[in-house]
Structure 1
């Protein structure tokens, strides 16, 4: 079976006002299988929306090739450029792009009225529209106008319009960003259930890590136009390919280490740290670990992978409590789902499982996370690239 979407060596460049050339997409490769829900994830400026728009035909790449369901829709070598209307896919925009003067019925019917091949009768179009609205659960709103709808209802209308033509590939450009958190969570579940039921291939752009982890069968993490890693949510989270991916997906703690081959440990300012078998052992490394992977104790365990510190704050998060622990000049975050008797200013020991320590070579151009190990700095760093 042909891939639903295949991208090879794709490059898209933009020129800034000062004449500087910027690669919004930089030699990207991606293969999306039929029925997958693939999320393009990254901060503003990473190139994810530009990549989506090139698939849709709304942006023309400079080099490379794009195939949709086995058909070449763009090729710089073969000089192929298929118009958006002939690519056999649908797209749902962030703004929903609903016609304000049209009812829900007419908005959803619009793609059927303007299709170039396989014209339908009015009764056939009506049946398609009703089925599509029933699929997203807003049949009772068929005669309403967009201005009479809530944000969630507008989102469902846009989704119904994207699905009405039976496209096997549907592109989503941050479609849930305009609704509040509670509605967004509900719509995620509904969207995923609809995609599973109908079996279409979804390519979804977001900067929301939780949204990506919840929706995706596979995630493509982008940075400065490059696909840094493409894998399942678990692979991305537990086995990040780069330090950038590790710090952007989820929260991390970080410390510098120097490899001591004679002792088989990394020497850090917090003592010796042992890592799991098979981990790289560069001379200078950044050691990262997730807040949920650290243990807390008030007694010195007397082993490697024990970090001494003082509790600075405790934040109750519902499913867990977050402990902010000052360890020398570093501030560490620990998440614990078990109740403890700890208080602010208590002296504690953080213990680490060697298998949970991620190792990345320390290089001069590495971009460390903030001192608390949060991902805010990673998410905030963006190149001046169209996204």
Structure 2
């Protein structure tokens, strides 16, 4: 179905939405932001980004350094001023280039958790958490009511007994819990997260992910979360927006992003892939290892991808749609799976078998079997007209 658009009175084109459709918690429309280099040239940090984020969703902005995810988050927060576009939070315009609207960060009715925790070192954990209540607009609560809210927030993040400690007396994980309690204490309906778990060790990070998701479900706030960690995104997200050079390459559920990537960039960034280059042939694409059968048509020249866990390893030629020959050059036990490195000519493939597998050893001749529905095909770079990547 063709999506209609209308022009708003404020001069920013907006997607038409049925009158009975729910108002997004955050609406981002055609947002752009350029940064100027020292030589005077400009580079797009955000390039026409549009997202609708519904109440209660946990949205993850995912991509490598320089893709624009943090700039997009900071634009929603009011810490960056976009060049053009529009942002609404809770149905209220907080930025609109057409009308000149640009509310300050303190007027956007949202909270933010920073990567660096951003705790006041001279304040206790409780005082840090109380700070937003003491400085909120409108009538202030009484001291007793504020203290009760602070105690509830600290208890919700599991550090109710640490309110009298100073930041330098807390571990990294505990400091991050203080920062999260501060974001929750004023019952913000929207909470922004700028890579909040990147400064804690792996075990603590895994625990905090689970607790963060549980708290988001419990309190019902809408989350907009920035990370470069694919596993973190897959575990937390209701939907993931994958960014590259300021553009939203795909916006969908974790399952959609992983199983049906819209572009080669998304397919390679999310999870692991094996890559072959092929020329269109009857029934699929002819690669250096043989014919890979697929009903997909990506042009005369294509990049053929498949994931390590989707291939079958066998000593005899399998009955799958495609069968590629090779030799095992390494066997690595990874705990949850065994990884076999298979080489065929100049091509190396990674194949995963669940659990510990001793079926094959280094030097064994093997076949790699592929089903048609596990093959991903994208136009080759020259057919896409790709240009070399610049900074950003």
TM-score exceeds 0.5: yes
C-alpha distance in 2 between matches for 1:44 and 1:131: 36
Alignment match, 1:274: 293
Counterparts of residues 220-259 of structure 1 (less than 5 Å)? 220-259=241-280
Paired with 2:390 and 2:123, the residues of 1 have a C-alpha distance of: 39
CA 1:105–1:272 in 2, change beyond 3 Å: closer, same or farther? same
Deviation at 1:265, TM superposition (A): 2.3
* Distance apart, 1:366 and its partner CA: 6.7
Alignment of 1:1-387 (within 5 A): 1-260=22-281, 263-275=282-294, 277=295, 279-301=296-318, 304-337=321-354, 339-364=357-382, 384-385=391-392
- The Cα shift of 1:42 comes to 0.3
Number of residue pairs aligned between Structure 1 and Structure 2: 369
- How far 1:365 moved relative to its partner? 8.0
- Find the residue that maps to 2:382 and give its secondary structure: coil
- Give, in whole Å, the separation in 1 of the partners of 2:321 and 2:186: 61
Call closer, same or farther: CA 1:348–1:101 in 2, change over 3 Å. Answer: same
Following TM superposition, by how much is the alpha carbon of 1:341 offset from its aligned partner in structure 2, in angstroms? 2.4
Which secondary structure does the structure 1 equivalent of 2:196 belong to? coil
Distance, in Å, in 2 between the alignment partners of 1:135 and 1:383 is 44
Moved more, 113-122 or 191-200: 113-122
User: Residue 176 of structure 1: CA displacement?
Assistant: 0.3
| Distance in 2 separating the partners of 1:110 and 1:116 | 12
Deviation of 1:304 after TM superposition, in Å, equals 4.8
Q: Unaligned 5+ residue runs, structure 1?
A: 369-380
- The whole-number CA distance in structure 2 between the counterparts of 1:303 and 1:22 is 47
Deviations 1:7-35 (A, max 9, x none): 00000010000111101000100111000
- Aligned-partner SS, 2:262: coil
Measure the CA separation in 2 of the matches of 1:269 and 1:45: 34
In the superposition, the TM-score normalised over structure 1's length comes to 0.93
User: Shift of the alpha carbon at 1:258?
Assistant: 1.2
Question: TM-score, normalising length from structure 2?
Answer: 0.92
Structure 1 residue 117, shift from structure 2 partner: 1.7
Any idea what SS the aligned residue of 1:117 has? coil
2: CA distance, partners of 1:112 / 1:291: 50
C-alpha distance in 1 between matches for 2:215 and 2:343: 46
Higher relative contact order (CA 8 A, sep 6+): 1
Q: Distance in 1 between matches of 2:177 and 2:390?
A: 33
Change (3 A) 1:153 1:382: farther
| Residue pair 2:320, 2:370 contacting (<8 A) in 1 also | no
Q: 1:2 to 1:268 in 2, by over 3 A?
A: same
Counterparts in 2 of 1:355 and 1:63: CA distance versus 1, 3 Å: same
Q: Deviations over 1:203-261 (max 9, x none)?
A: 0000000000000010000000000000000100000000000000000001111112x
Aligned residue number for residue 373 of structure 1: none
CA distance in 1, matches of 2:227, 2:390: 17
